[in-house]
Structure 1
Amino acid sequence: MSGERNKSSSGASRKRSQPALLVFGGLLLLIGIALAAGGMQLVILGGSWYYLIAGVAMAVSGLLYLRRKPAGAWLFALVFVGTVLWALWEVGLSFWPLVPRLAPVLVLALIASLLLPTLLGGSGRGVSRGLSAALVLVLVAGGAAVFVPHGVISNGGIGSLANSGEPDASDPAAWQYYGRTPNGTRFVPETQINRDNVDGLEVAWTFRTGDPANPFSENQNTPIQIDDTLYLCTPMNKVFALDADTGEEKWSYDPQAPDTHTWNRCRGVGYYEPGAVTHSLLESADTDIVDDAATPSLLQTAATQPAAANTCRRRIVLTTIDARLIELDADTGELCEDFGQGGTVDLKVGMGEIKPAYYFPTSMPTVVQDLVIVGGWVFDGRSVDEPSGVVRAFNANSGELVWAWDLGNPAITKLPPEGDTYTRATPNVWSTPAFDEALGLIYLPTGNQQPDFWGAHRSPAADEFSSSIVALELATGRVRWKFQTAHHDLWDYDVPAQPALYDLPDGKGGTVPALIQVTKRGQIFMLDRRDGSPLAEVEERPVPQEHQEGDWVSATQPYSVGMPSIGTEPLTEQAMWGATVFDQLACRIAFRKLRYEGEFTAPTTEPSLLYPGYYGGMNWGSVSINENEGYMFINDIRMPQIVKLIPREGLDESQMPAGHGVGSVYPMEGTPFVVDHASLSSPLGIPCHAPPWGTFSMIDLKTRTLVWQRPAGTVEDAVVNGVKASVPVPLGMPTLGGAVNTASGLVFYAGTQDYYLRALDIETGEELWKGRLPVGAQATPMTYVSPASGRQYVVVSAGGARQSPDRGDYVIAYALPADAENATP
């Protein structure tokens, strides 16, 4: 009787499970139809046959399940095995590329294994349990692996970097320039905070600037520190002086700058101390290579500039988003009345027409000896007739113009002739220069002539100097040398980062004065900063020649083959990604529809893929170099863009979304086209290419090798379609801003998409500490030791990460507890 009851119970259980077979069969059928339809489109475009074949097989398997045929399970098993083999063939054991390929079939396989006894009429329970357990283990392991960094590169390490050591007494504890020193290395010779105690960092003070949240404002400011005071600026150019130990406000100044409604930025203020000036720049001028007719007057101007009665003992130098150059008393915040007109110089003089938001400086003014040197940002892609990219040097005492570099007309060495202007639309210098006083040179990272994506109208001079590093004489503003990183730039591959100056060991007991320049292309150029000759081999390589009729492209482009490149692997269909298998299929189809011939795919009237793209690669955050050891820290962005030239004729431009960057249209007035911008994203709004989308890397400059690389940050605070991820998955996200490193072997970085300030071990890239920020940051941190308390602070401006809806006005200082064992009395 009991056997009959068991058979009856088993039969009833199978009957109750029948609907599950029908639901699963229907699910397989629908998935298979969708994959087959998309797969057919992909095959027509010349892509992978997998989706078509797998989709048809899965649909047939679903039909067999609906008919309760065991063959459905065997066919699905074949799809499963085939998918695993195909995935391993395409991407090997790379974790994130495997996720959308294998996760769906693993889940479906688990359901199929649980339903196997029902499909087989009650048999196969042991096989079902075994398969189900194995699949559960794989899924659990995969789920846990999601929270582990993948794609980590480690090439053997760099040996041991000591935690101890005394700061260099000849290197005063001040952060006076954007990169701390004119070298732009963001290196601090301090060891109080080190790898053994960094996990004890805590918030020491917080200051709120009161700058309003503004969709056009991004806080990219790195404060400077002079003695016991920090000086900082906001996107609306308000300036604050804070006590270095308490963060309490000493004074503030508001220039009442009008909102640009486009691009409010202030990356830093300069510092000038009259009287603390030498005139070695005059001695270093090389008169052999300067125009003889111009040299005497220029040198005489720099040497005999009248020294007005200084009303300010020490000065803070500020530029504004309405193109003013201002000097303030560093002690009181009052205007220095002897500078310019009542403390202000109008940077619009000599520029001609400037439409709203078409020109203003965004980076810290460069103060060197008794000069203030400024370039400027111009509104990308607007017109062939935009303001000049002229670079000017003003006397830091009086505000009088000392020299001007107008690359379109070298005869203009100060103001243009009456009724004339500086050459319009020349390549500009919107980022931060570096300078070498001993050589008497300033190194300018240049942009390209506007508009970015059409170059048929460009002059020979513009093509000669665009997307380059240009060395000018400090005394005269005349060109000493130049090196171009992209020829006839049609991709907005302007040079965004401050050059880094480092004395490279020559292997013979001496050093070579090097300049290291990172680029949006992911190429890293190492040059002799005396003459611009490559110290690491540069090779001109042929590039694709297809381009839009009416323009032209260079036959070759420079590749820095003697240095590692970062994030430069060409995209392929196999590199397309997605959160789901459907996402990935859609991305593969989208990729196949685009023109893509590598990083120098010239824009045409067909949608064209740009990668690394105009965000980088490496952007304005530049690099950080441990000057003691020659280790260089880099963060990069890996976000391709899609551009398309649209014929202007018959176009209603009023209906086009004007703006800046992805999702906007650049009008390119004066050319036959406008240009449309889009991102390569999946239907879910996720990047189409496989992560990481941003990394941290370290290069040994002595051996010129990549030592380690790690994904940069997590998706914890990323927002997609209005939903915050809230899960700390370390995919590696795009980064902005730069890093600071210390003699104790720490790298501090805050420009990730998640809201943290991090401390990394420069030897390995291992995260040693992170502090939660109230909002994201995209500014470069800085660190200093207070001369009053002896405490070392790490300070970061947190105004909101790029693409994040969360905005703030925070300046936050971290320090070890005041009674920490290694605090200096």
Structure 2
Amino acid sequence: MAAGLFFTIGGGWLIGLGGSWYFLIAGLVLIASGVLIICGQAIGAALFGLTFIATVVWGVWEVGFTFWPLVSRLFAMAVGGIVVALSVPLLTRARTPRLIGLGSAVALVAGVVITAISAFSPKGVIHPTETAAAPQAAPATAPDWSAWGANDQGHRFAALDDITPANVNTLEVAWTAHTGETPQSTGSGAEDQNTPLQIGNQLIVCTAYGTVISYNVDTGAENWRNESGGTVPAWQRCRGVAYFDAATASFVADEPDGITPDRTVSPQRVFVPTVDARLIALDITTGERVATFGEDGVVDLKIGMGEVKPGYYQQTSTPLVAGNLVIVGGRVADNNETGEPPGVVRAFSAETGALVWAWDPGNPAVTREPLDEGGYTRGTPNVWSAMSFDPDLGLVYLPTGNATPDFWAGERTEMDDLYSSSVVALNVSTGRVQWHFQTVHHDLWDFDIPAQPVLYDIPNADGTTTPAVVTVSKTGMIYLLNRATGEPLADIVEQPVPQGNVEGERYSPTQPYSIGMPMIGNATLTEADMWGATPFDQLMCRIQFKGMRHEGIFTPPGLDHALQMPGSLGGMNWGSVSIDPTTSYMYVNDMRLGLANYLIPRDQVQGGSGIEMGVVPQLGTPFGAMRERFLSPLGVPCQAPPFGTLTAVDLKTHALVWQVPVGTVQDTGPMGIRMGLQLPVGMPTLGPTLATQSGLIFIAGTQDFYLRAYDSRTGAEVWKARLPVGSQGGPMTFRSPDTGRQYVVITAGGARQSPDRGDYVIAYALPS
């Protein structure tokens, strides 16, 4: 009766919104069933049985035989059916109804048990239709992991084959180190998102608070540490440091003002970005600041930026070392106000710290210093994620964001719109734009490009190669471009998109859809796509959905409630992709989280900040905005699983090769309660992958506490190791120059949704 009452009230509400009639009808029948059972009438049990049968028919009609959507509709009803069926002997003395009740209970128990067992195997897996080429032998020596993405092109690939799909299950912890700095976060505070570097026999790690530590690669013993980190109100993280070697660096730009660098001082150094907007050079041997770089080893990145409020401008991603330059962008606080710090990208001498060039997205006349005392153009699109470098073409590739705030853009200038949410190729010597390609026009969704553009030479049938740059986006689209010209290498078409009606805003009539590459997790949702751990929260998700406007990826924000899917986290995010050049497979991990939002008239905005969910003020515009994750009352995503996957895409054929859900609910669950069950529903991922020549993919950025390895040819999970806490770090691998042993290293500081935090650096290796 209670279930029927819930269904009836909720179902009536849903019908009023134009939704399904099932819940109202089922609710009324369940109420009748409950009344009759209370009155001792066996017909009540029969009514429940008919309701269950009708629910099965309705469920199959809505979602077919797809596992998780059917479980949401049928599992709780089946458990209730067992109780009702076993109650039949209490309702009648007749032999036949008793036997029917007992038989129904046995059948339902069997169904529940089979379903529960089946739930522990991955669902929705896309298997490869062709067998990939066997892994090639790795070269005798492999390069160091000397850049955030393994190299300046961002491949996240290691030409190593000691650890293979056949022996990876024997990996064991070789050593564990502790940074001594445990990140504390509520989602907007400190988070460990680091990918270490390996230079010779040193492993270089940075903490969320900006401390840099060098460990011995074979023992984990600490060589040195430098505590140069700063403090800011929020968003403390260090995704990586950059490495420079004066002996091997190409020289792509002259030192300004005729400066002659002293190359005998710390020729090998690492550059540390800090959350309080400094760029620090450290001697890789001692960890001490390089005295000849900037002012005693420090370049103050706030110079030329005008007013910078605490936390409004900071460095969270790795700098890019391109030849003899170190290039930085910067994270600008989203959604607080207009006229925030500039989105300028600057190149400094990697040897002296002198400013060589600057690219100001708001003023093409700027080539170096600002043209006036106010600094570079304020409020312009910024580059907060990692950049890439092609030394042969002499181009640097930037992933841009959009001018803040995100959800109201009526104040943006033509120049703001020109370079927002784009891949921008700059001449490395001058900083001038060579070409750019925009993935979102007049971005109203915070769909900035979050990932490092990855450079890859696609092999052609005639033995030649095509220079490509590939970028993944929060929209769930993949853009494949010629990196010399910016022309598409896979079909991209301008398609009409929904138009908004908020006074003072303007809307792009079309958006560029990358139809020549696979789309991942961005299908337009319908009411039938709504999900829940039970039919009750599924009903509430349906009510939420029917109460919102949803018109696909580019549903514009308005004064009414709108559903943005994917939301501002994606789709794909900053972890970027990895590429195996032996197969031309690219590996993409994603999250599938919707965002419910609406604009709030200025006189009604109360409180709020530009960080995470809730009200964001957007000062300087007519509206604030409300942002909320599209979750059920139990705190699980409202759309059906998977909520995160790992996908292989063939860059030669542009085809999706395989796809598997990644992550379980072991360390999370409804209302934040850990389920403790390894149900592979596929959870949102946040962090990079690693590909190896032996045919392995490693990933740790899931919501459960594991480092996993997959067969890169098939997508089969071949190994996983339990971590002490979750990880958003990037796994990396290398071969020790001293012992020849291959290690896989991951940092584990905690996953975003979990309160568990740590300070771990863990190295795995085959038994010695």
Q: Secondary structure at the match of 2:730?
A: coil
Q: Secondary structure at the match of 2:481?
A: strand
Alignment of 1:279-678 (within 5 A): 279=251, 281=252, 305-308=259-262, 310-651=264-605, 653=606, 656-662=607-613, 664-678=614-628
Determine if the alignment matches structure 1 residue 236 to structure 2 residue 209. Answer: yes
Determine if the alignment matches structure 1 residue 90 to structure 2 residue 62. Answer: yes
Confirm or deny: 8 A CA contact 2:255 2:349 kept in the other structure.
no
Determine if the alignment matches structure 1 residue 52 to structure 2 residue 24. Answer: yes
Query: TM-score, normalising length from structure 1?
Result: 0.91
Q: Distance in 2 between matches of 1:303 and 1:793?
A: 45
Q: Distance in 1 between matches of 2:654 and 2:339?
A: 42
Alignment of 1:152-301 (within 5 A): 152-162=125-135, 165-167=137-139, 169=141, 172-215=142-185, 216-258=189-231, 260-279=232-251, 281=252
Shift of residue 418, structure 1, vs aligned partner: 4.8
Out of 723, 728, 750, the residue aligned to residue 800 of structure 1 is 750
Q: Distance in 2 between matches of 1:764 and 1:303?
A: 56
Shift of residue 551, structure 1, vs aligned partner: 0.4
Determine if the alignment matches structure 1 residue 681 to structure 2 residue 651. Answer: no
Q: Distance in 1 between matches of 2:155 and 2:455?
A: 7
Shift of residue 38, structure 1, vs aligned partner: 0.8
Shift of residue 684, structure 1, vs aligned partner: 1.5
Q: Which of 151-160 and 599-608 deviates more?
A: 151-160
Shift of residue 230, structure 1, vs aligned partner: 1.0
1:708-743 deviation per Cα after TM superposition (whole angstroms, max 9, x unaligned): 111111011115435222111111111111111100
1:26-68 deviation per Cα after TM superposition (whole angstroms, max 9, x unaligned): xxx2221221111111001000000011111121222222333
Out of 19, 43, 65, the residue aligned to residue 15 of structure 2 is 43
Shift of residue 130, structure 1, vs aligned partner: 2.4
Out of 716, 728, 745, the residue aligned to residue 678 of structure 2 is 728
Shift of residue 764, structure 1, vs aligned partner: 1.4
Task: Sort the Cα spacing of 1:326 and 1:93 in 2 relative to 1 into closer, same or farther, 3 A.
Answer: same
Confirm or deny: 8 A CA contact 2:530 2:639 kept in the other structure.
yes
Shift of residue 765, structure 1, vs aligned partner: 1.2
Determine if the alignment matches structure 1 residue 791 to structure 2 residue 741. Answer: yes
Confirm or deny: 8 A CA contact 2:183 2:192 kept in the other structure.
no
Q: Secondary structure at the match of 2:78?
A: helix
Q: Distance in 2 between matches of 1:348 and 1:276?
A: 30
Shift of residue 483, structure 1, vs aligned partner: 0.4
Q: Which residue of 2 aligns with 1:134?
A: 107
Q: Distance in 2 between matches of 1:339 and 1:659?
A: 34
Which amino acid counterpart does residue 718 of structure 2 have in structure 1? L
Shift of residue 484, structure 1, vs aligned partner: 0.4
Q: Which residue of 2 aligns with 1:8?
A: none
Q: Secondary structure at the match of 2:626?
A: strand
Shift of residue 657, structure 1, vs aligned partner: 3.9
Which amino acid counterpart does residue 556 of structure 2 have in structure 1? A
Confirm or deny: 8 A CA contact 1:466 1:494 kept in the other structure.
yes
Q: For the aligned residues, what is the CA RMSD? A: 1.5
Q: Distance in 2 between matches of 1:671 and 1:581?
A: 41
Q: Distance in 2 between matches of 1:659 and 1:352?
A: 20
Q: Secondary structure at the match of 2:115?
A: helix
Q: Distance in 1 between matches of 2:767 and 2:466?
A: 41
Q: Which residue of 2 aligns with 1:102?
A: 74
Q: Secondary structure at the match of 1:776?
A: coil
Q: Which residue of 2 aligns with 1:700?
A: 650
Q: Secondary structure at the match of 1:721?
A: helix
Which amino acid counterpart does residue 434 of structure 1 have in structure 2? S
Out of 144, 158, 166, the residue aligned to residue 117 of structure 2 is 144
Q: Distance in 1 between matches of 2:753 and 2:33?
A: 43
Shift of residue 75, structure 1, vs aligned partner: 2.5
Task: Sort the Cα spacing of 1:719 and 1:44 in 2 relative to 1 into closer, same or farther, 3 A.
Answer: closer
Shift of residue 586, structure 1, vs aligned partner: 0.8
Which amino acid counterpart does residue 617 of structure 2 have in structure 1? P
Task: Sort the Cα spacing of 1:418 and 1:581 in 2 relative to 1 into closer, same or farther, 3 A.
Answer: closer
Confirm or deny: 8 A CA contact 1:101 1:581 kept in the other structure.
yes
Q: Which residue of 2 aligns with 1:9?
A: none
Q: Distance in 1 between matches of 2:35 and 2:496?
A: 53
Which amino acid counterpart does residue 618 of structure 2 have in structure 1? M
Q: Distance in 2 between matches of 1:382 and 1:737?
A: 26
Shift of residue 665, structure 1, vs aligned partner: 1.9
Q: Distance in 2 between matches of 1:506 and 1:442?
A: 24
1:295-344 deviation per Cα after TM superposition (whole angstroms, max 9, x unaligned): xxxxx656955223642131111111111111111101111111111111
Q: Distance in 2 between matches of 1:197 and 1:178?
A: 27
Out of 41, 50, 64, the residue aligned to residue 36 of structure 2 is 64
Shift of residue 132, structure 1, vs aligned partner: 2.1
Confirm or deny: 8 A CA contact 1:394 1:402 kept in the other structure.
yes
Q: Distance in 2 between matches of 1:120 and 1:155?
A: 55
Shift of residue 74, structure 1, vs aligned partner: 3.1
Q: Secondary structure at the match of 2:686?
A: coil
Confirm or deny: 8 A CA contact 2:662 2:702 kept in the other structure.
yes
Shift of residue 570, structure 1, vs aligned partner: 1.1
Q: Which residue of 2 aligns with 1:767?
A: 717
Q: Secondary structure at the match of 2:590?
A: strand
Q: Secondary structure at the match of 1:65?
A: helix
Q: Distance in 2 between matches of 1:679 and 1:415?
A: 41
Task: Sort the Cα spacing of 1:309 and 1:67 in 2 relative to 1 into closer, same or farther, 3 A.
Answer: closer
Which amino acid counterpart does residue 548 of structure 1 have in structure 2? V
Q: Distance in 2 between matches of 1:198 and 1:113?
A: 49
Shift of residue 674, structure 1, vs aligned partner: 1.0
Task: Sort the Cα spacing of 1:75 and 1:268 in 2 relative to 1 into closer, same or farther, 3 A.
Answer: same
Q: Distance in 1 between matches of 2:425 and 2:133?
A: 37
Identity score, percent: 50
1:65-107 deviation per Cα after TM superposition (whole angstroms, max 9, x unaligned): 2333343233323212211100000011111111121112212
Confirm or deny: 8 A CA contact 1:302 1:475 kept in the other structure.
no
Which amino acid counterpart does residue 642 of structure 1 have in structure 2? A
Confirm or deny: 8 A CA contact 1:158 1:707 kept in the other structure.
no
Q: Distance in 1 between matches of 2:227 and 2:77?
A: 60
Confirm or deny: 8 A CA contact 2:591 2:685 kept in the other structure.
yes
Q: Secondary structure at the match of 2:306?
A: coil
Q: Distance in 1 between matches of 2:379 and 2:608?
A: 23
Query: TM-score, normalising length from structure 2?
Result: 0.97
Segments of structure 1 that go 5 or more residues without pairing to the other structure are: 1-28, 283-299, 819-825
Q: Secondary structure at the match of 1:51?
A: helix
Greater C-alpha Rg? 1
Q: Distance in 2 between matches of 1:194 and 1:70?
A: 62
Which amino acid counterpart does residue 451 of structure 2 have in structure 1? A
